């Protein structure tokens, strides 16, 4: 790997991103770079990671551990991506009697025949060790008080208890905390640039990635448009749920990584496979933006979906009933609501978990309990109105098993990537695992490149 002064070929800069004025134009390779002033500041590194969720920070930590000078740029603060909103957990064959082969089968079934089997095999085989490394990094998962073993729950599409969780229903927040702390640890010497919206990919004369341009908004060491020059660029920008009127995704999930990759001429695939989470708290027909998620783990622990007459409409529709894959449950909710006369836009059903009792709600699902109560619903005493909302982009920037995109030097991992593991429909809690496994593979691949 080269030193920390990698530079894009000046000959390629006449139309390089960030240097053009004027409206973006259609070109043979896609859409031209964004209109922006020339970069006013510059950082040089071996690797620039764009995004600071589980995928981005795992890639950065592993690159830094391999001795690569690493910069993380992120659109808001380090802990503001989608990862910290993940509730249910992280799926891996960790439990007694469970195997990667069973995890593979469940993933392929949920993916509706459109998964890349080799990618899924990689995910489920390397997953358990990747989770253990995450624990070594500092993430604390919930454990059984008696045995000390990691507690595992179930979610839709899983035939076994296979989901590790933390803080009850705050798994993403705990993973984010552990990774942010590790990155901020002075020993990792990772440079970070927060509040930096990525603009475009810089390319060298050979067409390979050479860095990114950014616009820093807000306070920080840098201001305005700048550039990080690096021969390896890792996109880990998350999803695009905010494109939809109602979503579980935070404000930052606006598809920036896919847009950058398209402008850079990278192959994108399966963008039509947007997963709708079946049980998001229904706050009315006009509710917009990020909505409160009611984790599938609530159904995994025994909550029932009922219609307006109190009937469990998933029973008899699928062998897993309420724990059928998400696309099936989401469609069943919409159909049943229509059958019961709901006006378009007002379709919702109800989640009944009153039988959990107050203590279980308070200890196992404290985050969800608080969110429901803050909107005037108490799941201890009443039903929760729930409806599907946009949740996860299964497609994205096409990659191979090392996270390589079709643009040399440009890698992608996490929700922005399309590794092929999700097919048409992601299996619950496979996304944190995908972020971990493939970001590690990317870091190892970059570190193994000749200098």
Catalytic residues, by residue number, are 326
CA distances from 162 to 165, 250, 382 (A): 10, 26, 29
Using the rule CB under 6 A, which residue among 249, 295, 394, 419 binds ligand SIN?
A: 295
Phi, psi (degrees; rounded to nearest 5) at 435:
-60, -40
**Shortest approach of ligand SIN to residue 86 CB, angstroms?**
6
User: Which long-range contacts link 119-123 to residues 24+ away (Cβ below 8 Å)?
Assistant: 119/401, 119/419, 119/420, 119/421, 120/420, 120/421, 122/401, 122/421, 122/437, 122/441, 123/419, 123/421, 123/430, 123/433, 123/434, 123/437, 123/438
CB 322 within 8 A of CB 314: yes
Instruction: Pick out residues in 381-420 that bind ligand SIN (CB under 6 A).
Output: 392
User: Among 111, 429, 439, 443, which residue interacts with ligand SIN (rule: CB under 6 A)?
Assistant: 429
The answer to whether 296 contacts ligand SIN (rule: CB under 6 A) is yes
Question: Please, which residue, 25 or 363, has the CB nearer to ligand SIN?
Answer: 363
Residue 309 DSSP one-character state = T
Give the residue with the Cβ less far from ligand SIN, 39 or 292.
Answer: 292
- Is 19 an interacting residue with respect to ligand SIN (CB under 6 A)? no
Which of 297, 330, 418, 437 binds ligand SIN (CB under 6 A)? It is: 297
Q: Are 417 and 396 in contact (CB under 8 A)?
A: yes
Which of 211, 292 has the CB closer to ligand SIN? 292
Q: Which tokens belong to 443?
A: 């870091």
Strand ranges, E, within 313-383:
349-352
Stretch that binds ligand SIN, among 63-71, 96-104, 263-271, 294-302 (CB under 6 A): 294-302
User: Please, what's the b/e burial string for 53-62 (b: 16 or more CB within 10 A of its CB; e: otherwise)?
Assistant: bbbbbbbbbb
C-beta closer to ligand SIN: residue 295 or 405: 295
Both tokens of 13, joined, read 């800069």
Q: What's the CA gap between 350 and 335, in Å, rounded?
A: 14
CB of 330 to ligand SIN, least distance (A): 12
CB nearer ligand SIN, residue 70 or residue 394? 394
CB of 300 to ligand SIN, least distance (A): 9
| Chosen residue from 52, 107, 213, 431 binding ligand SIN by CB under 6 A | 431
Helix (H), strand (E) counts: the chain: 10, 23
CA gyration radius for the chain? 22
The CA distances from residue 123 to 155, 330, 392, 405, 434, in Å, are: 18, 26, 18, 18, 6
Could you tell me the smallest distance in angstroms from the CB atom of residue 410 to ligand SIN?
A: 26
Closer residue to ligand SIN, CB minimum distance, 88 or 231: 88
Rounded CA-CA distance 402/412 in Å is 9
Nearest residue (CB) to ligand SIN, 282 versus 392: 392
Options 84-92, 236-244, 264-272, 398-406: segment touching ligand SIN (CB under 6 A): 84-92
328 Cα distance to chain centroid: 21
Which of positions 187-246 make contact with ligand SIN (CB under 6 A)? none
Binders in 299-358 for ligand SIN, by CB under 6 A: none
Sequence-ordered strand ranges (E) for 165-260: 191-193, 196-203, 209-216, 224-229, 232-235, 246-247
Name the minimum Å distance from CB 317 to ligand SIN.
Answer: 19
Least spacing, CB of residue 240 vs ligand SIN, in Å: 15
From residue 434, give the alpha-carbon distance in Å to each of 128, 180, 443.
Answer: 11, 18, 14
Region from 83-91, 253-261, 404-412, 413-421 binding ligand SIN, contact rule CB under 6 A? 83-91
Under the binding rule (CB under 6 A), the answer on residue 254 touching ligand SIN is no
Letters for 87-126 (x = contact with ligand SIN by CB under 6 A, - = none) are: xx--------------------------------------
Using CB under 6 A, list all residues that contact ligand SIN: 86-88, 295-297, 392, 428-429, 431
């Amino acid at each position: 790997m080269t030193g920390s002064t990698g530079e894009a070929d000046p000959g390629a800069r006449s139309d390089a991103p960030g240097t053009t004025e004027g409206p973006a134009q259609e070109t043979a390779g896609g859409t031209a770079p964004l209109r922006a002033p020339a970069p006013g500041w510059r950082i040089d590194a071996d690797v620039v990671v764009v995004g600071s969720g589980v995928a981005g920070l795992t890639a950065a930590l592993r690159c830094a551990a391999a001795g690569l000078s690493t910069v993380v740029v992120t659109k808001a603060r380090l802990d503001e991506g989608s990862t910290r909103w993940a509730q249910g957990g992280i799926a891996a064959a960790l439990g007694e009697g469970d195997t990667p082969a069973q995890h593979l089968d469940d993933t392929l079934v949920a993916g509706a025949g459109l998964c890349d089997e080799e990618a899924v095999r990689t995910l489920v085989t390397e997953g358990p060790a990747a989770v253990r490394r995450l624990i070594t990094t500092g993430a604390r998962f919930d454990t059984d008080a008696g045995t000390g073993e990691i507690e595992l729950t179930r979610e839709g599409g899983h035939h076994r208890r296979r989901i590790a969780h933390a803080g009850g229903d705050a798994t993403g927040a705990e993973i984010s905390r552990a990774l942010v702390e590790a990155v901020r640890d002075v020993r990792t010497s990772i440079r970070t640039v927060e509040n930096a919206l990525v603009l475009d990919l810089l390319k060298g004369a050979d067409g390979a990635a050479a860095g990114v341009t950014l616009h820093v908004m807000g306070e920080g060491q840098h201001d305005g448009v700048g550039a990080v020059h690096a021969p390896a660029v890792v996109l880990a920008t998350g999803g695009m749920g905010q494109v939809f009127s109602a979503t579980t995704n935070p404000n930052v999930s606006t598809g920036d990584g896919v847009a950058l990759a398209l402008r850079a001429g990278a192959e994108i695939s399966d963008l039509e496979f947007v997963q709708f989470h079946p049980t998001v708290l229904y706050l009315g027909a006009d509710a917009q933006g990020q909505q409160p998620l009611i984790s599938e783990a609530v159904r995994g622990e025994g909550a029932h979906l009922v219609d307006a007459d109190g009937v469990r409409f998933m029973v008899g529709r699928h062998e897993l009933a309420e724990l059928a894959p998400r696309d099936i449950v989401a469609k069943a909710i919409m159909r049943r609501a229509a059958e019961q006369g709901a006006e378009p836009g007002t379709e919702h059903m109800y989640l009944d978990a009153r039988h959990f009792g107050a203590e279980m709600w308070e200890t196992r699902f404290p985050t969800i309990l608080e969110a429901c109560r803050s909107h005037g619903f108490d799941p201890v005493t009443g039903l929760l109105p729930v409806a599907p909302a946009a949740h996860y982009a299964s497609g994205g920037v096409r990659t191979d098993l090392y996270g390589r995109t079709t643009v040399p030097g440009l890698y992608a991992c996490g929700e922005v990537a399309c590794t092929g593991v999700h097919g048409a429909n992601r299996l619950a809690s496979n996304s944190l695992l995908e972020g971990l496994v493939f970001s590690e593979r990317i870091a190892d691949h970059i570190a193994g490149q000749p200098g």
